[in-house]
Amino acid sequence: MKHKLTFALSALCLPGMAMMGAGKVNDNVKTTFQTSRAWSPTIDNRADAVMVYGVGGNPSDRHGNRHTFEERVKSWKDKGYTVHFMTGIAWGEYQDYFTGEWDGKPHLDEGQVTQQGDTIWHGRMVPYIVPSENFIKYLNEKHVKRVIDAGVDAIFMEEPEFWARSGYSDAFKKEWKEYYGTEWQPQHSSPEATYLSNKLKYHLYYRALDKVFSFAKEYGRSLGRDIKCYVPTHSLVNYSQWQIVSPEASLATLPCVDGYIAQVWTGTSREPNYYDGKYRERVFETAFLEYGSMESMTAPTGRKMFFLTDPIEDRAKDWDDYKRNYQATFTAQLLYPGVGDYEVMPWPERVYEGLYKVGNGSDERSRIPRFYSTQMQVMINALNKMPVVDREVNGSKGIGILMGNSLMFQRFPQHDSYDDPQLANFYGLALPLVKRGVPVKTVHIENLGVPATLADTDVLVMTYSNMKPLDAEAHRHIADWVKKGGRLLFVGSDRDPFQNVREWWTTGGNSYTAASQHLFEQLGLDRNAGEGSYKVGKGEVRVMRNDPKEHILTEGGDKDYMGSIADLYGKKKGMELKNNFLLHRGHYVVAAVMDESVSDAPLTMKGRYIDLFDPELPIVEDVTLNPGTQALLIDLGKVEEKKTPKVLAASFRESDEKVTPQSYSFTAKSPVDTDGIARVALPKRPKSVKIDGVESLESSRWNPESKTYLIAFDNKPEGRNINITY
């Protein structure tokens, strides 16, 4: 092989630039959204920032491409938004590149091509791209430079996606020869060809982002500006399941990458998986694992992470379906208390203006119902206030599942009749724990060199049935951790056809027939360690010689697996098995109860709450949550400074607040054609409630037990002036 895939400090992201890109990003942007449109009153959702999409707009939104990029930027700045830039790095409004308008040469031959010779398209004249050096030059010169000149200080290059089923174009064959120094191999021909093909795809988008972001930072620095660079990307769980290859965790080692957006939403999380022999959607559980894989990817490195949710999705469903699954994914993201930055929605134009079915089986379509837009805006405004807290989800802590980028390398095609249906070898490790209320963490093998990665892990579970280590160093870190007291559960038959691919454990003087053999030797065990338990230093290793998929493809298949984890976890601690997750974030309460779990018992929470999933914001007591449902509540008993008036929950964003001993006033802004509603905490019963100077007091809206007043009106993006005296 000509190249070994390594991710040391890039020659492009120079050490002198590291201070500009590495480490924690501190700014005033907590919430953001993406749109290809100029400002309009229907989509003015009052997040902190807007990511204006595409120099030429969004290829899926011809209506949104009526204004120049500069005009769109100005329209949002004029409304008080921080303005950033987003575009796709694998696709976009790049027709001038593909048709030859940019450099006089057509480049449609640089699209991703399947074995059948078909180009994979994202839109008209918009193929998914094999990111050549020439394409990178085009992006920098035609797009990145222009948006920086327009005053944008943050660039989001989204979805570096190379389809696993592609890899047959002349452009890809050329990259293969340059990278490996050998003639191209069709990926369907052998496990090794599949592995090497996907590994190259992984490298190509790593290189592309490295060069684009390096250019952006260097150009910005020449103007005296610090350009931040982010990668909006699906989770490693989703890309692996959908058979897409992307750089993922390796980007966190680049100083020119400031952070990510975790693109998790109903469309990714409703992908069916297996559990207890049943194949179906498990939206909440899948979202929990997706967000977890993204959080663990960046937490040890200090990069900024935005979590995305979407009130609808790409597939045409009905409003009830969207609402139910939005609640599930929204709850899942909030169960990670160390993340407090959010993309509140993509494409508000389709959320507020799109026409979707009013119910399952109905042909009637409508814009978003008022009850749903009201609830959605209450949830979004909760994100504007959601605190980062030093608390954890209830349940047994310290259990981690190892995952790595090479999960994406083995997904296409099937070889030697070995199958990993719907990523069952990953879910076979994760779902038995999640379904029993264990807040399992995912651990990225690429981050093992960072000390914080395993700092809070007591039991680490791993397999090489679905992935392989990209270097030997990972095994040294694992062995060192075990010898110091860690407990490792290795699950795998090591019979998958990718064990003998041309990689570090089979080349350079190494002749291991399975990647795990090197790990076991580092642990001081026989390289073919059989099933059983082994004492290693102060720690312990347990080996199970089955593939994890067996835990979930058959009913009750996870019994021995859960027994092994319980043994490693320890009799003193004991594992807490339950059917729920519960977290307190300041005065917010986040809860989910799962079906297919240890019981069908509901979760009951005593106290007095505001229900944020109810658009009428009722005061409720002793909440009962049934399996398969979630809740977001405000615990009125946990609200601080109870005598200080404040908006507790609202379907608008308040600003310009003024408090006197006898009054409380603020401005309320939210999109047109939506309902404004809020629970306002007051020190005493109000004497007057004026909306734009008009008296609107209704005594029935005062709740004396909670000392809150329910205010309601039609929203206006220019704002409603609210003045309350008491």
- Regarding whether 659 and 522 lie in a shared domain, the answer is no
Q: Are residues 35 and 60 in the same domain?
A: yes
CATH of the domain at 188: 3.20.20.80
Q: What is the mean pLDDT of the chain?
A: 94
Query: Does 4 have pLDDT greater than 90?
Result: no
Same domain, 337 and 359: yes
Question: Are residues 157 and 109 part of one domain?
Answer: yes
313 lies in the same domain as 183: yes
pTM for the model = 0.96
Q: What is the mean pLDDT of residues 105-123?
A: 96
Q: Both 192 and 312 in a single domain?
A: yes
Q: Is the pLDDT of residue 299 over 90?
A: no
Share of the chain above pLDDT 70, in %: 95
**Are 240 and 292 members of one domain?**
yes
- Give residue 301's pLDDT: 85
pLDDT of residue 6: 37
Is it the case that residue 577 has pLDDT exceeding 70?
yes
Residue 302: predicted pLDDT: 86
- Which of the listed residues 638, 670, 686 is the one where a domain comes to its end? 638
Q: Are residues 287 and 307 in the same domain?
A: yes
Q: Is residue 5 part of a domain?
A: no
Task: Look at residue 535 and tell me whether its pLDDT is greater than 60.
Answer: yes
150 and 195 in a single domain? The answer is: yes
Least confident of 52-66, 311-325, 711-725: 52-66
Overall domain count for the chain: 4
- Containing 692, the helix (H) or strand (E) segment is none
Q: Is residue 144 part of a domain?
A: yes
Q: Are residues 628 and 522 in the same domain?
A: no
**Digit-coded pLDDT (tens) for 585-613:** 999 999 999 999 999 999 999 999 999 99
Residue 125: per-residue pLDDT: 87
* Range in 13-22, 79-88, 109-118, 299-308 with the lowest mean pLDDT: 13-22
Pick from 112, 74, 216, 109: nearest CA to 157: 216
Q: Using 50, 70 and 90 to split pLDDT, how confident is the model at 57?
A: confident
Nearest to 716 by CA among 681, 680, 667: 667
Vertex 259 angle, CA 378 and 631, to 5°? 25
Any idea what the CATH number is for the domain that residue 420 is in? Answer: 3.40.50.880
pLDDT for position 26: 60
Are 605 and 467 in a shared domain?
A: no
Domain limits at 521?
399-569
Residue 145 domain-assigned?
yes
Q: How confident is the model at residue 1 (pLDDT cuts 50, 70, 90)?
A: very low
pLDDT over 50 at 555, yes or no = yes
Does the pLDDT value for residue 2 go beyond 60?
no
Residue 4 belongs to some domain of the structure: no
pLDDT tens per residue across span 614-641: 999 999 999 999 999 999 999 999 999 9
- Dump pLDDT digits (tens) for 476-512: 999 999 999 999 999 999 999 999 999 999 999 999 9
Alpha carbon distances (Å) from 278 to 273, 321, 634, 724: 8, 21, 36, 55
